[in-house]
Amino acid sequence: MAHSPSSAPFRLGELLVKEGYLTHDALQKVIETQKLHKQGGASAYKPFGQVCVELKLISAEELQRILRKHNKRILLGELLVNMRLVRPLQVQNALQQQSQEPKKKLGQILLALGHLNETQLVDALSIQLDVPRILPSLELIDIALIKKFDLSLFSRYQFLPVHLKNDQLTMVMENPQDEKLIQQIEKQFKCRVLPAIAPASALQATLQAYLRQQQSEKPASAAAPATYSKPVSMTLPEEEDSSYIPSPLAGVSLYADEEPQEPEIPQAAQTLTVGGVSLYVSEEQRKQEETVVNFLFKNALKDRASDIHIEPQEKYLRIRYRIDGVLHHKTDLPQDLAGPMLSRLKQLSALNPENTLGHQRNRVQATLMERQLELGVATYPSLWGETMVLNIHERQSSAQDLLLNLERTGFSPLCLQRYQKLLNQPGGLIILTGPARSGKTATLYASINYLNQQNRSIMTAENPIEIQVPGTVQGQWTPERGDSFAEMIQSMGFLDPDILMVSQLESPAILEASTELALSGAKVITSYPAFDATGALLRLANQGLESYLIASSHVAVLSQRLVRRLCPDCKRPEAPKRELLDLLGLVGVAPEAYPLYQPVGCANCLQHGYKGQTAIHELLIINEAIREAILDRKPAATIRGIARTEAKLVSMAEDGYFKAVQGLTSLNEVQRVAFVNEYDSQTPWEADEIHAICLGQESEFI
């Protein structure tokens, strides 16, 4: 695990100026800033690239990209600081220790000091060395390749073969810079080795799993280990013997008592079935692309992922999972696997495998791990090949039951009281706003489920139906119907409804049809993709909502975002910085007013520090003053000011602060997603006020 720059010396500043990222004035500013840091001693030193990133002259990603372009390498310590995995002082302390123990690598020292974990180090090394990071799972590896090696080599030299095609062998290694090992493999197999990186512990665990698998498949009468055709027996030059690593299997009995395990799910149930077609076949017939597909879905369910992103890059295939609304890098794969894997996924999803130049979409039913799934599949032609995103929606799950409960959608006590009061009023128009993946759909379904009573007629117009709500009349629009979505909404008016839910106001025609039904006396609940509540009102007024605003006084806009929940097992207290509170418009809040918490990471949250999601809200109830301002085409800032003073609007950032105080999320997470209006800081509240208001203890706000 190296900490050495590229062998050819270079001046990073000159390179950034040449590429147009820095002006000469900016270059001088960075040099002067770096000199100031140097005056503070060795512990205050900051590398040139880090100073550029901190001054926001270039992003960490842009810095890495420009270095890769010119075949340069950033120092590992600098990279770890840029990735915010360690602090500069921690790197300096590790470097001082390394000067006393020169045989130890910086990454090993930082691991030993507990400043980062093995996964974080491997992620950084993958970026620094520009090699893919591949999980050495048996489901991602071509097992036939393992059988061509003497097993002792894997534990001795910490590597595993992954994929072989066209004389190119992808090999995952603890140290992708082990040139002697790479050259020996290339000589033995007459191929080109493409190195990838993985943690040593993961390589050891995979090898142990492979041996257990072989032992379980061995006939009971077998007296000797199974042998394979022409296994490679390889010895590296003697000078490498000093780096010999004892086998991780030494002293490990495959027959040792293990901890009690849950009943094993049959192998067929662990295999993906899509559209009635199962990937379950015998081990001899199974293809690597099918085991990879099965791995991706099985681990997506295990990791609670909502989406799988399959993204071709220049040298490899990147796999990312969206977990709790945030993308996480799962693994990389050999680029040669992209074609057969995507082709197989298209076949399963009833898409055209031959069409690689146009985008395709479909929804299919699937089964895995005895769970019923609905998959949304979408492809998009990109620079290095087809990108595919698979949305995973579990049908009839306990999570769905929770989503149908309005009290479990994340409302603060005040916002819940206000929103339930709106729902209980006869008639009116309620519009939910927010960008994609902000939880609008969940709140829509929870709303109609709250209103779902025997004496009410509830009808929906959806595209498509996401969740089934018993006791309601749900309608799904498809192009095959022959009418438009707006005409479908109009037709519901002839069926004597009390409450209508329209999945989304996608066009002026749909808006007109929905407001006409609201004018007739029905309560209409719908959603609109907008950044904030006041902005949504202005846009909708320009599209035709104006007539309804004139005629009705029952209009409300609920804007929301999803934030990740802090893991209750590993969160720890933190003191927020004044700058972060100011950035959220919380200028009247003292940092020490209430205890706040930050993520840490543990086994229960997959080292993310977060587990699950909750929502933060901003509920704008339209009153006469706001209505007149909208009809007079007042600026959004003016309308916002009226909402704060006249309608007692609690901002999304204030709602997020309240939930951070409750220990539900972190302030950094609120800052990541919350809409912040500059006007809000002009009417600041103190921490105690925000707390009391959101708890519903201030009667004037209810």
pLDDT higher at 538 or 209: 209
pLDDT of res. 1: 44
Section 453-466 average pLDDT:
91
Label each residue of 69-107 as H, E or C.
Answer: HCCCCCCHHHHHHHCCCCCHHHHHHHHHHHHHCCCCCHH
Residue-wise pLDDT tens digits, 653-672: 999 999 999 999 999 999 99
**What confidence tier does 619 reach under pLDDT thresholds 50, 70, 90?**
very high
Residues 6+ apart with CB under 8 A from 408: 402, 446
Residues 6+ apart with CB under 8 A from 253: none
Residue-wise pLDDT tens digits, 428-437: 899 999 988 8
pLDDT of res. 700: 85
Number of other CB atoms surrounding residue 392 within 10 Å: 21
Sheet bearing 192-197, strands edge to edge: 159-165, 168-173, 192-197
pLDDT of res. 199: 93
pLDDT at residue 278 is higher than 90: no
Section 629-650 average pLDDT:
87
pLDDT higher at 267 or 506: 506
If we measure between CA atoms, which residue out of 519, 516, 489, 484 comes closest to residue 501? 489
If we measure between CA atoms, which residue out of 530, 601, 536, 618 comes closest to residue 564? 601
Label each residue of 406-459 as H, E or C.
Answer: HHHCCCCHHHHHHHHHHHHCCCEEEEEECCCCCCHHHHHHHHHHHHCCCCCCEE
Residues 6+ apart with CB under 8 A from 252: 208
* Residue linked to tokens 């819940």: 416
Say which range, 71-75, 190-194, 458-462, 585-589, has the weakest mean pLDDT: 71-75
Kindly state the percentage of the chain with pLDDT values over 90: 47
Sheet bearing 316-323, strands edge to edge: 277-278, 273-274, 360-368, 371-382, 385-394, 305-312, 316-323, 326-334
pLDDT at residue 505 is higher than 70: yes
Residues 6+ apart with CB under 8 A from 386: 312, 338, 342, 356, 379, 380
Angle at which helices 687-694 and 413-424 cross, to 10°: 40
Question: What is the bridge-based pairing of β-strands 473-476 and 458-462?
Answer: parallel
pLDDT of res. 234: 53
pLDDT higher at 619 or 479: 619
pLDDT higher at 544 or 178: 178
pLDDT higher at 666 or 253: 666
pLDDT of res. 398: 54
Section 455-463 average pLDDT:
94
Residue-wise pLDDT tens digits, 322-348: 999 999 999 999 999 999 999 999 999
Say which range, 42-46, 354-358, 389-393, has the weakest mean pLDDT: 42-46
Length of the chain measured in residues: 702
Half-sphere exposure for 223 (CA within 13 Å, toward CB): 0
Please report, as a single letter, which amino acid is at residue 591. P
| Residue 205 burial class via C-beta count within 10 angstroms: exposed 0-12, middle 13-18, buried 19 and up | middle
pLDDT of res. 244: 35
Report CA torsion sign: 201, 206, 212, 218.
Answer: negative
Residues 6+ apart with CB under 8 A from 235: none
pLDDT at residue 72 is higher than 60: yes
Q: 349 in helix, strand or coil?
A: coil
Third-level CATH fold of 284-394 = Beta-Lactamase (3.30.450)
Residue-wise pLDDT tens digits, 557-584: 999 999 999 999 999 999 888 999 998 9
Q: 150 in helix, strand or coil?
A: coil
pLDDT of res. 538: 80
CA angle 200/62/81 to nearest 5° reads 50
Section 597-603 average pLDDT:
91
Q: How far apart are CA 240 and CA 181, in angstroms?
A: 10
Section 294-309 average pLDDT:
94
Label each residue of 452-479 as H, E or C.
Answer: CCCCCCEEEEECCCCCCCCCCEEEECCH
pLDDT of res. 614: 94
Section 101-125 average pLDDT:
90
pLDDT at residue 75 is higher than 90: no
| Residue 467 burial class via C-beta count within 10 angstroms: exposed 0-12, middle 13-18, buried 19 and up | buried
Say which range, 168-182, 217-231, 463-477, 589-603, has the weakest mean pLDDT: 217-231
Beta strands in 115-210 (DSSP E): 159-165, 168-173, 192-197
Say which range, 69-83, 255-269, 511-525, has the weakest mean pLDDT: 255-269
pLDDT of res. 230: 47
pLDDT of res. 633: 83
Cis peptide bond N-terminal to 464, omega within 30: yes
pLDDT of res. 659: 96
Q: How far apart are CA 173 and CA 5, in angstroms?
A: 20
On whether the CB atoms of residues 507 and 491 are closer than 8 A, the answer is no
pTM, 2 dp: 0.82
Q: How far is CA 665 from the centre of its chain?
A: 16
**What confidence tier does 10 reach under pLDDT thresholds 50, 70, 90?**
low
pLDDT of res. 224: 42
pLDDT higher at 84 or 203: 203
pLDDT of res. 408: 86
pLDDT of res. 638: 87
User: Domain spans of the chain?
Assistant: 12-129, 284-394, 399-701
As assigned by CATH, the class of the 399-701 domain is: alpha beta
Section 152-168 average pLDDT:
90
**What confidence tier does 283 reach under pLDDT thresholds 50, 70, 90?**
low
Q: What is the CA radius of gyration of the chain?
A: 29
pLDDT at residue 485 is higher than 80: yes
